[in-house]
């Protein structure tokens, strides 16, 4: 007897006896969900799916009324406007489909949905896990299509792309079309060229030669018009602003070679080079397409972030009942309609629809979309949550603090697009060099034409053309941008966002690293390290009294006591003393907790100077007090701080610049080997220290929380912000460590150095190639055919070299 489910291959629990008859055999199922999905497949005569699939299906789920209601909400016009294309007689949308494991899944979905009345067309891509679907709205609603997909075990939702991805997808289609047409026609022209070449040795009849040349001429026209069109527009745009780009010599070479070959065909005099023009254009298009693909990978980062935003949200509203009490009612709305202070219910497995604070519940949230870290993060009351993160195992009620357009996720997308829109100095230098190089090429080509016209007129044109083609600065123009784009993409995948264009070229020069303490070198989360019980029988009793008082304080030092809160300890008459502590009555007895300097005399203070806070019991009649317990709280050093600082000390100076006491800083340096530690500093004093380092010829990088250190960040050569709080996106940092890991600084340094090395290699190859090929082309040793292959191979080599940056090591 089978012990695993025929549909999803998961083990069948004891006591479950469910079967579906598939191809005359009773097949076991592990749950009602898988049974329902399998039965739907059988009822629709799609059992062939089980014969051709290469992976087991995902576990089936019963469609609960709540899911059907969410699907129904997607029929609303206001929501559909975001993801649906409205044609004259039908609607079109792209769906993301979870659960596709092989091509058989795509086939099953297509077969099932094509049977739904009103569906005009459906195409499922198993690789991207997306489906393009067209339907008539008057016959079938989108919610019915989604439900039909879910009936066979897959989860479907509308795919909402951002403008960058839509634009890139459109450009990609155009590129592929140009490549396809140019490639197919080039192969035909090459075949004819071989016939002409060998025909010249076999005394081919003249009329056959003329016929083959005319055919080549006709086949080359789409290549030099449609295929080469991007080069012409690039050249015209550059000349309009009085600049010389690589498109100028490329366009000249294509137009001149085609025109000369066309004239030779029409006049039946001279040689034709249609095959060289075709190959030149095709290989250049490949180079441009590879560059475009490298650039679009960076744009996909922000596009992928946007996909995480949910379409719907469960809003809680307060409804008054007949008994004068109020109850909370759930209402499904579009997530974009949420406003400040709305209450939202987020259930296990759901995506948080907006930035906000937890006001009820505790759970684990997956914040991989922000940090790259897959391990869930514990969240409880008053903790901040971000739109796009996934709730784990418990219901949460969240109070919205930012509307969707101002959420941290939206700010990340804007920052990502902003950083990609600005060129670093290195890229600008590359453009400038290429511009001068083009001018040199054009001058050399003119001089070559004049010289050969006087000495060998019949070859002057083709030699000049070879100079233009062979020395085209494509590789030079690609040397920097492809490397920087690949490097930025690699860092984004590791949870490191580059905000400023100069970071990649400045980072390898940094030889002094300054760090803030709390929240940077340390976790920023205090924990209770030691409890000294003095006039109390039980340590847990002391902790419970302290927790009852601290529950009413928002101070960071109050948070570690939360886990000891016992509601049997009744609290009243609470008074929070700002910056000092809390006083109040617990179970009828008056207590105070706070700084030792606030609660104790100077004589007693000596005894408790190592304590972070003390708990006092106060006799209200006599006002006498006695210390119940003292607590030592520590801010734990990050796990990756010591390895990072040890590594940095090998080649750089390290500084700790903190607002905490010098005593706390000195204590930290006993664990973390920082060379210089200075405490009790204001932001202004930190800035002055950094400026002093710079005057000592140090290149300084400052790492901090990015909230209160704007002047310090502004003074440093490179500023690095930790964490993923909302304020971080508004800070002046050059780099944001979204993964909140200090070890990412090592990754940043490594990638920056590798990028510099690869850019140098690209330049070396580009200049070396041109230095070798230019004199050979001028001397007439390189034909246009050879020039095309050499130039294209040079560009492809530069792009391939840059793509090495995408590797993890």
Q: What CATH number is given to the structural domain containing 335?
A: 2.70.150.10
Give the domain-ending residue among 584, 605, 635.
635
Task: Beginning with the edge strand found earlier in the chain, give each strand of the sheet holding 571-577 in spatial order.
Answer: 522-533, 625-637, 613-618, 589-594, 581-586, 571-577
Let me know whether 190 and 335 are in one domain: no
* Residue 266: how many other CB atoms lie within 10 Å: 11
Q: How far apart are CA 588 and CA 569, in angstroms?
A: 10
Among 671, 253, 739, 257, which residue's Cα sits nearest to residue 491?
739
Let me know whether 280 and 194 are in one domain: yes
Q: How far apart are CA 272 and CA 367, in angstroms?
A: 62
Give every CB contact of residue 454 below 8 A, 6+ residues apart in sequence.
none
Higher pLDDT, 644 or 704: 644
Let me know whether 297 and 171 are in one domain: yes
- Residues 185 and 217 sit within 8 Å (Cβ to Cβ): no
- SS3 per residue for 32-47: HHHHHHHHHHHHCCCC
The model's pLDDT over 346-370, given as tens digits with 9 standing for 90+, comes to 887 788 888 889 998 888 787 755 5
DSSP 187-211: HHHHHHHHHHHHHHHTT--HHHHHH
Among 684, 683, 657, which residue's Cα sits nearest to residue 514?
657
Among 336, 341, 345, 288, which residue's Cα sits nearest to residue 315?
345
Look at the alpha carbons of 230, 233, 237, 242 in this order and tell me if their dihedral is positive or negative: positive
Point out which residues pair with 624 in neighbouring strands.
none
Asked if residue 112 has pLDDT above 50, the reply is yes
Let me know whether 298 and 323 are in one domain: no
Using 50, 70 and 90 to split pLDDT, how confident is the model at 66? low
- Residues 681 and 657 sit within 8 Å (Cβ to Cβ): yes
Q: Is residue 435 part of a domain?
A: no
Among 353, 351, 318, which residue's Cα sits nearest to residue 337?
353
Q: Is residue 461 part of a domain?
A: no
The model's pLDDT over 492-551, given as tens digits with 9 standing for 90+, comes to 778 887 877 688 888 998 999 999 887 788 876 778 888 988 888 788 889 989 988 988
CATH of the domain at 664: 3.40.50.1000
Q: Is residue 421 part of a domain?
A: no
Let me know whether 518 and 667 are in one domain: yes
Point out which residues pair with 582 in neighbouring strands.
576, 593
Q: How far apart are CA 466 and CA 253, in angstroms?
A: 8
Asked if residue 416 has pLDDT above 60, the reply is no
Question: 575-609 burial string, b = 16+ CB within 10 Å, else e?
Answer: ebeeebbbbbbbeeebbbbbbbeebbeeeeeeebe
Among 292, 297, 719, which residue's Cα sits nearest to residue 499?
719
Q: How far apart are CA 495 and CA 371, in angstroms?
A: 5
Distances in Å between the Cα of 757 and the Cα atoms of 444, 647, 761, 764, 801 are: 31, 21, 6, 10, 11
CATH of the domain at 593: 3.40.1110.10
Q: Is residue 768 part of a domain?
A: no
Distances in Å between the Cα of 622 and the Cα atoms of 242, 574, 618 are: 90, 20, 8
Tell me what pLDDT residue 301 has: 45
**Mean pLDDT for the chain?**
79
The model's pLDDT over 220-260, given as tens digits with 9 standing for 90+, comes to 999 999 998 988 888 887 787 677 777 787 788 788 878 88
Tell me what pLDDT residue 662 has: 80
Give the domain-ending residue among 236, 268, 302.
302
The model's pLDDT over 569-620, given as tens digits with 9 standing for 90+, comes to 888 888 877 667 889 999 888 999 988 888 888 778 888 877 878 888 888 7
In the chain, pLDDT over 70 holds for what percent of residues?
80
Q: Is residue 269 part of a domain?
A: yes
Let me know whether 589 and 611 are in one domain: yes
Q: How far apart are CA 576 and CA 592, in angstroms?
A: 10
Among 85, 158, 144, which residue's Cα sits nearest to residue 113?
144
Tell me what pLDDT residue 202 has: 62
Distances in Å between the Cα of 630 and the Cα atoms of 224, 526, 565, 596 are: 83, 15, 17, 9
β-strand pairing of 522-533 with 625-637: antiparallel
Q: Which H or E run includes 293?
A: helix 274-307
Distances in Å between the Cα of 337 and the Cα atoms of 79, 342, 348, 567 are: 10, 10, 22, 38
Asked if residue 481 has pLDDT above 80, the reply is no
Q: How far apart are CA 550 and CA 612, in angstroms?
A: 14
Let me know whether 535 and 583 are in one domain: yes
- Residues 419 and 484 sit within 8 Å (Cβ to Cβ): no
Burial of 732 (0-12, 13-18, 19+ CB in 10 A): middle
Using 50, 70 and 90 to split pLDDT, how confident is the model at 426? low
- Residues 282 and 223 sit within 8 Å (Cβ to Cβ): yes
pTM above 0.75, yes or no: no
Among 161, 804, 745, 701, which residue's Cα sits nearest to residue 490?
804
Let me know whether 530 and 614 are in one domain: yes
In the chain, pLDDT over 90 holds for what percent of residues?
8
Burial of 138 (0-12, 13-18, 19+ CB in 10 A): exposed
Q: Give the single-character DSSP code of 556.
A: G
Point out which residues pair with 16 in neighbouring strands.
none
Distances in Å between the Cα of 433 and the Cα atoms of 55, 438, 766, 793 are: 53, 9, 12, 21
Give the domain-ending residue among 730, 745, 760.
745
The model's pLDDT over 695-725, given as tens digits with 9 standing for 90+, comes to 888 999 998 875 556 667 778 888 888 765 4
Let me know whether 19 and 51 are in one domain: yes
Q: Is residue 475 part of a domain?
A: no
Let me know whether 177 and 296 are in one domain: yes
The model's pLDDT over 124-155, given as tens digits with 9 standing for 90+, comes to 876 567 788 888 888 888 888 888 888 877 87
Q: Which of 117-121, 404-408, 477-481 has the lowest mean pLDDT?
A: 404-408
Mean pLDDT of 181-193: 90
The domain in which residue 657 lies consists of 491-522+637-745
Most distant CA pair in the chain: distance in Å? 126
Give every CB contact of residue 517 below 8 A, 6+ residues apart in sequence.
656, 657, 658, 659, 660, 664, 665, 668, 679
Q: Is residue 687 part of a domain?
A: yes
β-strand pairing of 700-704 with 512-515: parallel
CATH of the domain at 100: 3.30.70.100
- Residues 666 and 559 sit within 8 Å (Cβ to Cβ): no
The model's pLDDT over 269-307, given as tens digits with 9 standing for 90+, comes to 777 778 878 877 887 787 677 666 655 554 454 444 555
Q: Of the spans 104-113, 496-505, 685-694, which averages the highest pLDDT?
A: 685-694
Q: CA-based Rg of the chain, rounded to a whole angstrom?
A: 35
Among 699, 698, 689, 679, which residue's Cα sits nearest to residue 521?
679
For 349, phi then psi, to 5°, come to 90, -10
Q: Inter-axis angle of helices 784-803 and 474-493, to 10 degrees?
A: 20
* Residue 317: how many other CB atoms lie within 10 Å: 12
Mean pLDDT of 624-648: 87
Number of domains in the chain: 6
Let me know whether 246 and 272 are in one domain: yes
Q: How far apart are CA 461 and CA 269, in angstroms?
A: 14
| Cα pseudo-dihedral 193, 199, 205, 206, rounded to 10 | 40
Tell me what pLDDT residue 244 has: 76
Let me know whether 696 and 723 are in one domain: yes
CA atoms within 13 A on the CB side of 567: 0
Tell me what pLDDT residue 654 has: 92
Higher pLDDT, 62 or 479: 479
Tell me what pLDDT residue 750 has: 93
Tell me what pLDDT residue 419 has: 46
Q: Is residue 170 part of a domain?
A: yes
């Amino acid at each position: 007897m089978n012990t695993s489910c025929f549909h999803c291959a998961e083990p069948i629990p004891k006591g479950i006896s469910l079967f579906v008859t598939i191809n005359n055999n009773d097949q076991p199922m592990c749950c009602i969900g898988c049974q329902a999905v399998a039965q739907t497949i059988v009822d629709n005569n799609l059992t062939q799916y089980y014969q051709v699939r290469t992976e087991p299906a995902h576990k089936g789920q019963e469609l609960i009324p709540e899911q059907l209601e969410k699907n129904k909400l997607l029929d609303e016009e206001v929501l559909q406007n975001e993801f649906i294309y409205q044609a004259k007689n039908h609607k079109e949308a792209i769906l993301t489909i979870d659960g596709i494991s092989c091509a058989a899944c795509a086939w099953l979905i297509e077969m099932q949905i094509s049977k739904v009345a009103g569906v005009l067309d459906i195409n499922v891509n198993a690789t991207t896990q997306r489906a393009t679907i067209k339907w008539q709205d008057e016959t079938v609603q989108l919610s019915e299509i989604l439900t039909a997909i879910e009936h066979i075990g897959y989860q479907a939702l509308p795919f909402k792309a951002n403008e960058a991805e839509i634009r890139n997808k459109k450009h990609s289609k155009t590129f592929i079309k140009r490549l396809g047409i140019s490639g197919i026609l080039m192969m035909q022209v090459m075949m004819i060229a071989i016939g002409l070449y060998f025909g010249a040795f076999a005394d081919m009849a003249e009329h056959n030669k003329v016929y083959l040349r005319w055919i080549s001429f006709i086949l080359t026209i789409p290549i030099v018009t449609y295929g080469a069109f991007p080069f012409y527009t690039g050249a015209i745009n550059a000349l309009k602003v009085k600049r010389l780009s690589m498109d100028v010599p490329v366009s000249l070479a294509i137009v001149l070679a085609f025109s000369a070959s066309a004239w030779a065909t029409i006049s039946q005099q001279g040689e034709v080079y249609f095959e060289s023009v075709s190959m030149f254009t095709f290989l250049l298009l490949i180079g441009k397409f590879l560059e475009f693909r490298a650039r679009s990978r960076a744009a996909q980062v922000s596009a992928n972030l946007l996909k995480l935003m949910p379409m719907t949200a469960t809003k809680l509203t307060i409804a008054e009942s007949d008994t004068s009490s109020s109850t909370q009612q759930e209402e499904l709305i579009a997530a974009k309609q949420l406003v400040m202070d709305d209450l939202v219910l987020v259930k296990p497995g759901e995506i948080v629809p907006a930035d906000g604070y937890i006001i009820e519940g505790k759970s684990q949230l997956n914040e991989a979309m922000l940090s790259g870290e897959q391990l869930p993060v514990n969240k409880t009351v008053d903790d901040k949550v971000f739109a796009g993160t996934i709730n784990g195992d418990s219901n949460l009620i969240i109070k919205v603090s930012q509307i969707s357009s101002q959420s941290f996720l939206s700010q990340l997308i804007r920052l990502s697009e902003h950083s990609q829109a600005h060129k670093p100095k290195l890229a600008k230098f590359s453009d400038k060099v290429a511009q001068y190089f083009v001018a040199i090429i054009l001058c050399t080509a003119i001089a070559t034409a004049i010289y050969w016209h006087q000495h060998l007129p019949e070859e002057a044109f083709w030699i000049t053309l070879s100079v233009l083609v062979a020395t085209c600065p494509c590789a030079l123009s690609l040397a920097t941008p492809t490397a920087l784009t690949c490097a930025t993409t690699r860092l984004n995948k590791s949870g490191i966002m580059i905000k400023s264009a100069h970071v990649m070229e400045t980072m390898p020069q940094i030889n002094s690293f300054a760090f803030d303490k709390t929240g940077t070198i340390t976790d920023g989360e205090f924990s209770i390290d030691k409890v000294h019980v003095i006039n109390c029988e039980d340590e847990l009793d002391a902790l419970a009294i302290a927790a009852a008082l601290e529950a009413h304080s928002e101070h960071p030092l109050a948070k570690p006591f939360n886990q000891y809160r016992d509601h049997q300890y009744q609290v009243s008459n609470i008074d929070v003393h700002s910056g000092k502590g809390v006083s109040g009555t617990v179970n009828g007895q008056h207590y105070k907790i706070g700084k030792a300097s606030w609660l104790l005399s100077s004589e007693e203070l000596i005894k408790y100077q190592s304590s972070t806070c003390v708990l006092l019991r106060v006799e209200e009649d006599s006002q006498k007090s006695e210390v119940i317990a003292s607590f030592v709280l520590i801010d734990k050093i990050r796990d990756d701080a010591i390895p990072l600082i040890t590594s940095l000390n090998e080649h750089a100076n390290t500084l700790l610049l903190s607002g905490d006491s010098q005593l706390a800083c000195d204590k930290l340096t006993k664990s973390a080997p920082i060379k210089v530690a200075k405490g009790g500093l204001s932001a202004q004093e930190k800035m002055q220290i950094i400026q002093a380092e710079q005057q000592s010829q140090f290149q300084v990088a400052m790492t901090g929380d990015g909230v209160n250190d704007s002047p310090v960040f502004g003074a440093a050569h490179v500023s690095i912000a930790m964490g993923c709080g909302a304020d971080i996106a508004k800070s002046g940092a050059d780099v944001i460590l979204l993964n909140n890991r200090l070890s990412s600084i090592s990754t940043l340094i490594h990638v920056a150095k590798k990028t510099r090395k690869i850019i140098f290699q690209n330049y070396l190859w580009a200049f070396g190639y041109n230095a070798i090929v230019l004199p050979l082309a001028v001397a007439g040793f390189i034909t246009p055919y050879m020039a095309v292959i050499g130039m294209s191979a040079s560009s492809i080599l530069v792009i391939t070299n840059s793509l090495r940056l995408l590797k993890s090591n």
